[in-house]
Chain A
């Protein structure tokens, strides 16, 4: 009995001891916490509302291009910290400059393209686009009818005007060949949902940012948030964009996408290797578009869409290098630019291989 009592009191002492130590530890750690607070406060990011955690410093940061090297370093560090906390994985934000003596160009073979849209999805995966509500896609594939439209003898005297002594039935509306054929956006299907591609009566034209040499979007932006780098790629500083959408209005290729709401990017699908002007996660209310995968191509790799293409319809390279894939295509194939009547001089070429 007494033994038990002694044991009990010993336990109580231990407890007492434990409590004292505990308190001591708490005091020490809270002091440490206070000291560390300013640093760790930024790391505590609420994934439900990431906008709330944009720091004051990020809010007041200037245009990235106009920053000093020191400011750039700080801006990158801020973003890496925020993204790492938000997505729960080590995220790098690179600011590798464009290589010197390079002009990036792209060429796409529309006779090879089978319309599988693997490029579209590879792009979404690589570039951290919003995945749902809505899924943002930078590449849109147009499905265009080939020239094999049906001409019929019954159709010969149809259309308006119906009768004429000259025999010119239907010269105004609805004649026999009153249909689009070949390369025209008029009857292009942008949301085809086929079980099997390619459809034999159609050909496919993927459209993404054409990286114009004379980009109307850059001209229209009131704050120069969008600009062309010296390798010829049109980029956007997502932290500088004011969301006025004048660039989207100006673009004749429907290449720009707006973040109408907060982008939905699940942490497990997030690509942690990012570039400041490229695939780093965007915020609500800013514009985004194809950057020729700036995070890859500035390091000498190929864009994700090219790597995903199963038929080798896509070629990428340096337009200044006569030995590059693109230059060889330009020299040997029948090449054209999309909507060249707009005078934008794209560095994205289509060809018939």
Chain B
């Protein structure tokens, strides 16, 4: 018990220590959490009427962002898998970083879903036993299960690895018998949360843009691009500002994954657009609205071409060796663009335009309100705050700066 306590204490005190830039970053996040607490209060007392959602466009920015968090959470397995499947030693060392990203992003996604709900106070209605879960019919019931299990798997994995490394007994022979199965289950579970999230959307036959078999593939490729893009940024920052050693081959592997995920994404988009646009039946209406507008409603048009352009440009850029190896300038820039392009793709291509035309032929634009925008930033700020603190503490343990030995030696 004492060890666990000192683990938590050492982990926490290392996580909140840092340079001026580190505190500036935390303060930056704290600002949005402060403002967001107020806007969240407004939303929870007045209802979703303070968001831009309507009966015509019923999913708001929260749901769009939730899909994106599922992207990143699922893709974190790409950091874990090379170590455990292909026995890459350098990746195995860093596997815990990927699991932390997965854990925090799933939690962020669940928070987004709570913001999406009209009655978050009734969430308990879905818990079997005290409530009623419509299993196996409702896709949201599946999603609830897979997300929470994924969160739990990663929580167990992360705490176990970090604690074992902290006490210094993280060796093959000293690991619990359940540890490896849990890691492998988590690796398999990553794509699973994503496929199920795609099915939550694809199960709605009336939304033509989603009722397509390529949706899970589009999701997985976008996950393969956005997740590693964030991981590359984290790794580049970590090796620049901390003593954590991350070799170039690790970064290169991640970059390759981003590049070819984007490559396959190009094919998925092409397949989807061709299948819709060549026959140009009513199923293509949403896409045409997204691409060219409809009777003067053309708010999504620049977002569509901008996002697609950014994704294509990033793919082409990553084909150049010079860009891939420009670790301090071009590569982080490209990763930043990929991350944000896929984040923007969610509301502006996947979610909002898909609702027009409605079943009764209406076209509608979605305008995100200020309160909604700050609530989105609130959840993101919370997510990134936890991500920063947990990653910082984990780096302390991985570099050996935080360990049980040191703690007991100093006391």
Contact = CB atoms under 8 A, between A and B. Distances in A.
Contacts of B125: 63, 223, 225, 240, 242
B119 interface: yes
Interface string B28-62: 00000000000000000011111101111011000
Nearest to A49: B45
Contacts of B282: 186
A261 B133 contact: no
Most buried by B among A186, A224, A253: A224
Contacts of B126: 222-223, 242
B118 A244 contact: yes
B362 interface: yes
A241 interface: yes
A180 to B, nearest CB: 9
Interface string B355-366: 001111110000
A246 interface: yes
A183 B357 CA distance: 16
B359 A243 contact: no
A222 B133 contact: yes
B206 A250 contact: yes
Contact of B119 (A220, A260, A285): A285
B332 to A, nearest CB: 38
Given A219-B138, A222-B140, A242-B119, A342 B205 contact: yes
Contact of B118 (A186, A240, A252, A284): A284
Contact of B46 (A187, A221, A261): A261
A186 B132 contact: no
A220 B360 contact: no
A133 B60 CA distance: 19
B361 A286 contact: no
Most buried by B among A248, A254, A257: A254
Q: Which size bracket describes the interface of B in this complex?
A: 35 or more
Given A223-B133, A249-B59, A186 B357 contact: yes
B141 interface: yes
A142 interface: yes
B61 to A, nearest CB: 14
A188 B121 CA distance: 39
B42 to A, nearest CB: 11
Contacts of B137: 219-220
A254 B360 contact: yes
Contacts of A213: none
B47 A285 contact: yes
Nearest to B355: A249
Nearest to A66: B132
A192 interface: no
Given A243-B118, A245-B58, A220 B361 contact: no
Contacts of A224: 132, 134
Interface string B219-261: 0000000000000000000000000000000000000000000
A306 B361 CA distance: 25
B204 A250 contact: yes
Nearest to A342: B205
A251 B47 CA distance: 23
Contacts of B204: 216, 220, 249-250
Contact of A260 (B49, B116, B357): B49
Contact of A221 (B58, B123, B134): B134
Given A223-B133, A242-B125, A259-B118, A252 B206 contact: yes
B362 to A, nearest CB: 6
Interface string A230-271: 000000000011111110111111101111111000000000
* For the complex of A and B, 4 pairs with smallest distance between CB atoms: A243-B118, A285-B118, A261-B49, A185-B361
Interface of B: 46-51, 53-56, 58-59, 116-119, 121-123, 125-126, 131-134, 137-141, 144, 200, 203-207, 282, 357-362
20 contacts: A63-B132, A66-B132, A140-B360, A186-B282, A188-B360, A219-B138, A221-B134, A223-B125, A242-B123, A249-B59, A249-B206, A250-B203, A253-B360, A254-B55, A258-B48, A259-B118, A260-B48, A261-B48, A284-B46, A284-B47
Interface of A: 59, 62-63, 66, 140, 142, 184-188, 190, 207, 216, 219-225, 240-246, 248-254, 256-262, 284-287, 339, 342
